[in-house]
Amino acid sequence: MDLGLLTRQSELCWRIEAHGAMRVPGVLYGDETLLEAMDHKVYEQVANVAALPGIVGASYAMPDAHWGYGFPIGGVAAFDAAAGGVVSAGGVGFDISCGVRSLNTGLTRAGLRGRESALADALYRAIPVGLGSTGGIRLDAVQMDAMLAGGARWALEQGYGEPADLERTEEHGCMAGARPDRVSDHAKLRQRDEMGTLGSGNHYLEIQQVEEIFDDAAARAFGLRPGDLLATIHCGSRGMGHQIGTEFLRSMAVAAQESGIRLPDRELACAPVRSDIGQAYLGAMRAGINCALANRQIITHLVRGAFARVLPDARLTMLYDVSHNTCKVETHTVDGARRELYVHRKGATRAFGPGHPDLPAAFRDVGQPVLIGGSMGTASYVLAGSAEGEALSFSSSCHGAGRAMSRHQAKRTWRGREIVDELATRGIVIRSASLRGVAEEAPGAYKDVGEVVDAADAAGLSRKVARVTPVVCIKG
């Protein structure tokens, strides 16, 4: 990206001044190195989002932003329905409610030593992975609608998990306002056999070691100590979310035209929040969120079972579950007034600061856990929401490293077997359904997650709490 196109507001905050059709400015967070490495398409997409009706504040890009469909991945935008605001399927993304769930295991690295391969094998056998993977759960029509309405609460009622899990899950495990009747039969068919599966792409299940603590108070609240092991699940709504996004993008393109909305890019197809299509999408999207929450809840149950077979002394308890492809109704202060907004976060994580009433009591003093994933051979991070984050980005932060090259480029650059062997020399055990998938997700295909997290911390979007490194990685 050409930094000459931006106005520098501070060391880590840059501004695209409103011009042309833009209704608000664009705001990008990151240092010079991160922004210069971003494709110019990120600039264009941030500016295009700023032209949508009813947008409030600014169109934001997180430090890990890169090109996406319509909205940049790492994009945040909030819309006021009372001012003609819109909802956009491209502002949520295709993998609705893709997110990260971390569990404290009650074990240290020393307690796993010598059992890494056995645990990797047990996890790989227990959780289906890979493109089109299916599991042992098959939902009929009644069960499907119950799952879409109930989310992780439904999964718990079916015997998957523990009641305490819901307290540390966004929305307490169930997104209100879900409308299973707004999800097409085809989307439901795609999901019928996919509950409790990891999927492919950048999804993973990792056993991670806590390497470094940056914030002692938050680490204590999160139950983190150096040497502790975490189990972290990264996945979403599988085929259902993709189908919901695909179908509504088509109908939103028509709805935008009928509503007189001039789109700077067809990929920004949207509909007024208060339109029939807008309400139908919100109902289906919320059902997709519940699908992802139920999926991660079931996988949690399967992970606990695998641990019990290999390491019976383990006690897996929830740290937190947070999504990063959503649109949620939240109340934020804008120009001194509290307003109800539809906050789109695409490849961005909600990061409520200390004192927020929606947080579990254990986190009220330190802020919401923000779980940032790496890529097989790189570190991941646990952050906490900051007090100033609401004013900076509607309480939003980064979600991962962000891709630095396409999957096609990565396949041309690396071979999966070479990556698996190289990581083994570093003590990292990999299990994957596809060596091609391993090449696509090579650590070198991503930005430096440490630089991204440092930028988020220095900008005030969230605070660093802990750095964790992979020991075992199950890749889709």
Rounded-to-integer distance, Cα 273 and Cα 294, Å:
26
Collapsed DSSP state (helix, strand, coil) of residue 469: strand
Looking at the DSSP bridge assignments, the partners of residue 384 are 369, 463
Q: How confident is the model at residue 222 (pLDDT cuts 50, 70, 90)?
A: very high
Percent of the chain having pLDDT more than 90?
Answer: 88
Rounded-to-integer distance, Cα 248 and Cα 231, Å:
34
pLDDT value at 444 more than 90: no
pLDDT value at 21 more than 90: yes
Residues with active-site annotation: 399
Residues 215, 369, 345: CA angle, nearest 5 degrees: 130
Least confident segment among 44-48, 325-329, 393-397, 408-412 = 408-412
Question: For residue 30, what is the DSSP state?
Answer: S
Sign of CA dihedral 242, 247, 248, 252: positive
Pick from 242, 331, 348: nearest CA to 292: 242
Q: How confident is the model at residue 441 (pLDDT cuts 50, 70, 90)?
A: confident
Q: Extract the tokens encoding 234.
A: 């990264």
pLDDT value at 404 more than 90: no
Percent of the chain having pLDDT more than 70?
Answer: 100
- If one counts every other C-beta atom within 10 angstroms of the C-beta of residue 212, the result is 14
pTM over 0.85: yes
pLDDT value at 311 more than 90: yes
Strand boundaries in 415-457, DSSP class E? 429-432
| DSSP secondary structure letters along 322-351 | EESEEEEEEEEEETTEEEEEEEEEES-EE-
Strand boundaries in 24-158, DSSP class E? 26-29, 55-66, 73-79, 86-87, 99-108
| Identity of residue 103 | L
pLDDT of residue 76: 98
- For the residues 265-281, what does the mean pLDDT come to? 97
Q: How confident is the model at residue 436 (pLDDT cuts 50, 70, 90)?
A: confident
User: CA end-to-end span of the chain, whole Å?
Assistant: 32
Model pLDDT for residues 361-395, shown as the tens digit of each residue: 999 999 999 999 988 889 999 999 999 999 999 99
Output 412 or 381, whichever has higher pLDDT: 381
Rounded-to-integer distance, Cα 51 and Cα 142, Å:
42
Q: How confident is the model at residue 433 (pLDDT cuts 50, 70, 90)?
A: confident
Rounded-to-integer distance, Cα 102 and Cα 88, Å:
29
pLDDT value at 72 more than 90: yes
Structural domain boundaries, residue 339:
3-475
Least confident segment among 141-145, 185-189, 442-446 = 442-446
Q: For the domain that residue 442 is a member of, what is the CATH number?
A: 3.90.1860.10
Domain count, the chain: 1
